[in-house]
């Protein structure tokens, strides 16, 4: 009952009022993006939504226009080189995700759910199929986002998404929502380089330490 009716109703109400109250702040962010680098304010990218259907996710643009298309950040050789000055701030604070409230209002996304995979992230899509995580609307934030976010390996991320599917309820959504606020304030799990990056950094540090010893 919650997933079929109440959850969608909450998404509509919250996204509508969010658009109204955040209109001016989003306009100011749009201006900052335009002044910082040439190109459009919004970044549109094909993602996977409920039932593995494709849709265009909306984000504030945080990278230069010459960034390779449809490529996960962690696959770029030097992702930091493509990120704009304003983009670094937007990504660290997750403000680049704000335009997705329009995706939520349209019914393509939910406030809480698995983060939408790129259409070509076949490994993540396949792993999520094991847990039924592709059978619900993707979210602006979710259980995986407050349990590691960028540095989670694909199988671990999919497992957290599966756990969300099992525990999905109003109380669990509230836990994810307030947990996200805390994570954003602490910048937990925000790593340019993406999936498994913290593990790589740890291994490199240990190797360097071993060389010194």
For the chain, 213 residues long, give each residue's pLDDT as a single digit of tens: 787 789 999 999 999 999 999 999 999 999 999 999 999 999 999 999 999 999 999 999 999 988 877 666 666 777 778 899 999 999 988 899 999 999 999 999 999 999 999 998 999 999 999 999 999 999 999 999 888 866 688 999 999 999 999 999 999 999 999 999 888 887 665 554 455 554 555 555 455 554 545
Residue where the block lists tokens 């606020």? 181
Beta 54-60 vs 42-48: how paired, if at all? antiparallel
Token couple for 111: 């406030």
Q: What are phi and psi of 132, to 5 degrees?
A: 75, 15
Report pTM: 0.82
What are the DSSP calls for 102-156, one per residue? HHHHHTS-EEESPPPPBTT-HHHHHHHHTTTGGGS--EEE-TGGGTTGGG--HHH
């Amino acid at each position: 009952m919650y997933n079929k009716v109440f959850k969608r109703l909450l998404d509509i109400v919250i996204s509508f009022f969010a658009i109204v109250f955040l209109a001016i702040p989003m306009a100011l962010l749009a201006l900052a993006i335009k002044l910082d680098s040439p190109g459009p304010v919004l970044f549109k990218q094909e993602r996977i939504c409920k039932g593995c259907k494709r849709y265009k996710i909306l984000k504030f643009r945080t990278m230069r226009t010459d960034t390779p298309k449809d490529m996960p950040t962690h696959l770029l050789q030097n992702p930091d080189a493509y990120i704009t000055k304003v983009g670094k701030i937007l990504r660290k604070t997750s403000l680049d995700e704000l335009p997705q409230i329009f995706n939520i209002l349209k019914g393509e996304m939910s406030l809480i759910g698995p983060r939408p995979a790129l259409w070509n992230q076949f490994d993540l899509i396949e792993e999520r199929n094991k847990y039924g995580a592709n059978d619900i609307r993707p979210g602006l934030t979710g259980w995986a986002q407050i349990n590691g976010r960028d540095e989670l390996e694909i199988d671990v991320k999919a497992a957290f998404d599966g756990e969300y599917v099992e525990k999905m309820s109003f109380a669990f959504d509230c836990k994810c929502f307030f947990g996200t606020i805390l994570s954003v304030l602490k910048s937990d799990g925000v790593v340019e380089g993406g999936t498994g990056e913290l593990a790589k950094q740890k291994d490199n540090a240990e190797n360097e330490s071993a060389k010194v010893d």
